[in-house]
Amino acid sequence: MVYGAILAGGTGSRMGAEIPKQFLALQDGRPILIRTLQPFLKCPQIEHILLAVHADWLAYTKRLLHQWAPKSVVVTCFVGGSDRNETMGCILQEMDRLCAAPDSILVTHDGVRPFVTVDLLERSIAAARQYGAAIAAIPAVDTIAQSEDGLTVSGLLDRSKLIQVQTPQTFQFGLLRQMYRRTDAQQLVNMTDAGAICVAQGQPVHLVTGSRLNLKITTPEDLKMAEWIDHIMADDERHLQSGRSGKA
Amino acid sequence: MVYGAILAGGTGSRMGAEIPKQFLALQDGRPILIRTLQPFLKCPQIEHILLAVHADWLAYTKRLLHQWAPKSVVVTCFVGGSDRNETMGCILQEMDRLCAAPDSILVTHDGVRPFVTVDLLERSIAAARQYGAAIAAIPAVDTIAQSEDGLTVSGLLDRSKLIQVQTPQTFQFGLLRQMYRRTDAQQLVNMTDAGAICVAQGQPVHLVTGSRLNLKITTPEDLKMAEWIDHIMADDERHLQSGRSGKA
């Protein structure tokens, strides 16, 4: 069985907004979180979606789900932790409560990456089935440099070997649970995500080709870009549909 | 005196297009290269612009300049080299032909980064005057990982110290010429750009805050994003102008 898990516990302090960014609206008033959820709902393999949010926004999220999400896929909505790794812990607990089998696939994804596609979800699931752990990534486009002080460049990295890690990050559930159990709280503090925990434990992590459009919305500038991408994708969808109905 | 230099020698093989990407049109049929040139034309400090293109596209570029560029700023259009560093060499030669003073400022920029702003150009010029060398950069947003084989993750980097390098890369001309003279042909092969050459030679390179919108157009996906950014920026400009004329 395949589970989707969307991490949406952030409170959005970086946006300077009172509303956490995953609840800000794209076109037609549709919140980013709902836009993120839709490919999960459309993906034929995903049978159950776990949605981790902040306690203050639990009731609000449930109302959004009633308004926007069809009832065809089960969505469990619950309170996540105070950071990414705590929230992953809550998701793993929820998987245990659901008696998920160790060979289940868990597709984890940022609540503020609304432009994930069904195709990327399907390739992630296939790769995790085959390799145990798979993360979406794109080649680094800009030159990546190091700066110790944020004012001057202290070194340059060999771009040809660098990749930008995105989500989905997809795992065999049993394997991921084992990785988290082996990592103590002290180590977790230095880990950015589940992919990092696998790498630290020597678990091979397979790469799946992501997309530059699969951006993470963290600043007002990103939100602006997201609005445009949403418009383009909606246009493409309309063209595709008018093409299918023989009008194009 | 301040010189702008736009590197537009690429032949666009990565886009799968017959026309190099800098000549592809954004809105109103305006080519990307012309869109890139415009903030340079508008920037009050920049008095002379050097434009390096491929030999096959020299005549075409000159026709574009006649059509689109006002005659208020001198634009010298000439043939660049077969890669970025050779083109930089051609630009430095051109600066010598123009008898540029060593304390002149040279603002170098990618021909396929059309959304550079006058503000970013001005901050780059000010920083290069003060520190000798200044490059635009933004904090790395995604987690950056290493992959030796492109298939699996081999290591993760500490994102807090990583930056994505963009252009403009701005230099005191005498300093930059010295750096290039000290770097032999063999070393140049491993250098991605002028900023890298400064770092390799121990010359401090100051950071100027770039923008996520200042993207480099390298793939069809980027071109699509660029079309939207161009539309929104044009809208913003119109709103700003109607505001200034008291209509908003």
| Shortest Cα–Cα distance, A130 to chain B (Å) | 13
A130, A135, A147: best to mutate for the B interface, most B CBs within 10 A: A147
Instruction: List A171's β-bridge partners, or say none.
Output: A106, A133
What are the pLDDT tens digits along chain B (248 aa)?
Answer: 999 999 998 876 655 557 889 999 987 789 999 999 999 999 999 999 999 999 999 999 999 999 998 877 899 999 999 888 889 999 999 999 999 999 999 999 999 999 999 999 999 999 999 999 999 999 887 788 889 888 999 888 877 889 999 999 999 999 999 998 888 777 776 667 888 888 888 889 999 999 888 999 988 878 888 888 888 777 777 776 776 655 43
| Shortest Cα–Cα distance, A161 to chain B (Å) | 5
| Shortest Cα–Cα distance, B97 to chain A (Å) | 31
Q: Which amino acid is at B42?
A: K
Token duo for residue B186: 């063999």
Say what the ipTM of the complex is: 0.77
Per-domain residue ranges of chain A? 2-143+156-247
Beta carbons of A13 and A217 less than 8 angstroms apart: no
Measure CB to CB from residue B164 to each of A142, A151, A205 and give the nearest one: A142
d(CA A113, CA A240): 23
Give me the pLDDT at residue B247, please: 42
Query: Residue by residue, what is the 3-state secondary structure of chain B?
Result: CEEEEEEECCCCHHHCCCCCHHHCECHHHCEHHHHHHHHHHHCCCEEEEEEEECHHHHHHHHHHHHHHCCCCCEEEEEECCCCHHHHHHHHHHHHHHCCCCCCCEEEEEECCCCCCCHHHHHHHHHHHHHHCEEEEEEECCCEEEECCCCCECCEECCHHHEEEEEEEEEEEHHHHHHHHHHCCHHHHCCCCCHHHHHHHCCCCCEEEECCCCCCCCCCHHHHHHHHHHHHHHHHHHHHHHHHHCCCC
A14, A108, A142: best to mutate for the B interface, most B CBs within 10 A: A142
Give the phi and the psi of residue B97 in degrees, each rounded to 5: -60, -35
Beta carbons of A118 and A16 less than 8 angstroms apart: no
State the DSSP H helix or E strand holding residue A22, giving kind and residue range, or none if neither.
none
Helix axes B32-42, B118-131, angle to 10 degrees: 60
Query: What letter would DSSP give residue A125?
Result: H
DSSP sequence for A200-243: HTT---EEEE--TTS----SHHHHHHHHHHHHHHHHHHHHHHHH
Which residues of chain A have a CB within 8 Å of the CB of B220?
Answer: none
- Total-model pTM: 0.80
Which residues of chain B have a CB within 8 Å of the CB of A161?
Answer: 146-148
Residue B20 preceded by cis peptide, ω within 30: no
Give me the pLDDT at residue A143, please: 83
| Shortest Cα–Cα distance, B84 to chain A (Å) | 13
Residue B35 sits at the vertex; the CA angle it makes with B236 and B229, to the nearest 5 degrees, is: 40
| Shortest Cα–Cα distance, B163 to chain A (Å) | 5
Measure CB to CB from residue B216 to each of A135, A141, A157 and give the nearest one: A141
Give me the pLDDT at residue A17, please: 57
Give me the pLDDT at residue A13, please: 61
Give me the pLDDT at residue A182, please: 86
Give the three-class secondary structure for A2.
strand
Give the phi and the psi of residue B119 in degrees, each rounded to 5: -60, -45
d(CA A8, CA A20): 9
Give the three-class secondary structure for A170.
strand
Please indicate whether, in this complex, the C-beta atoms of B163 and A147 are within 8 angstroms of each other.
Answer: yes
Which residues of chain B have a CB within 8 Å of the CB of A166?
Answer: 142
Give me the pLDDT at residue A248, please: 37
| Shortest Cα–Cα distance, A93 to chain B (Å) | 26
Give me the pLDDT at residue A234, please: 76
Which residues of chain B have a CB within 8 Å of the CB of A213?
Answer: 221, 225
In chain A, whose CA is at the least distance from the CA of B224?
A232
| Shortest Cα–Cα distance, A210 to chain B (Å) | 12
Tell me which residue of A129, A205, A130 sits closest to A167, measured CA to CA.
A205
Please indicate whether, in this complex, the C-beta atoms of A151 and B207 are within 8 angstroms of each other.
Answer: yes
Residue B139 preceded by cis peptide, ω within 30: no
Which residues of chain B have a CB within 8 Å of the CB of A208?
Answer: none
Query: What letter would DSSP give residue A101?
Result: -
A146, A153, A205: best to mutate for the B interface, most B CBs within 10 A: A153
Which residues of chain B have a CB within 8 Å of the CB of A135?
Answer: 153
CATH number attached to the domain at B2-143+156-247? 3.90.550.10
Give me the pLDDT at residue B201, please: 84
Measure CB to CB from residue B147 to each of A148, A153, A163 and give the nearest one: A163
What are the pLDDT tens digits along chain A (248 aa)?
Answer: 999 999 998 876 655 557 889 999 987 789 999 999 999 999 999 999 999 999 999 999 999 999 998 877 899 999 999 888 889 999 999 999 999 999 999 999 999 999 999 999 999 999 999 999 999 999 887 788 889 888 999 888 877 889 999 999 999 999 999 998 888 777 776 667 888 888 888 889 999 999 888 999 988 878 888 888 888 777 777 776 776 655 43
Q: pLDDT per residue over A82-139, tens digit each?
A: 888 889 999 999 999 999 999 999 999 999 999 999 999 999 999 999 999 999 999 8
Give me the pLDDT at residue B190, please: 67
Give me the pLDDT at residue A12, please: 62
Measure CB to CB from residue B141 to each of A153, A218, A228 and give the nearest one: A218
Token duo for residue B100: 């540029």
In chain B, whose CA is at the least distance from the CA of A225?
B229
B149, B152, B183: best to mutate for the A interface, most A CBs within 10 A: B152
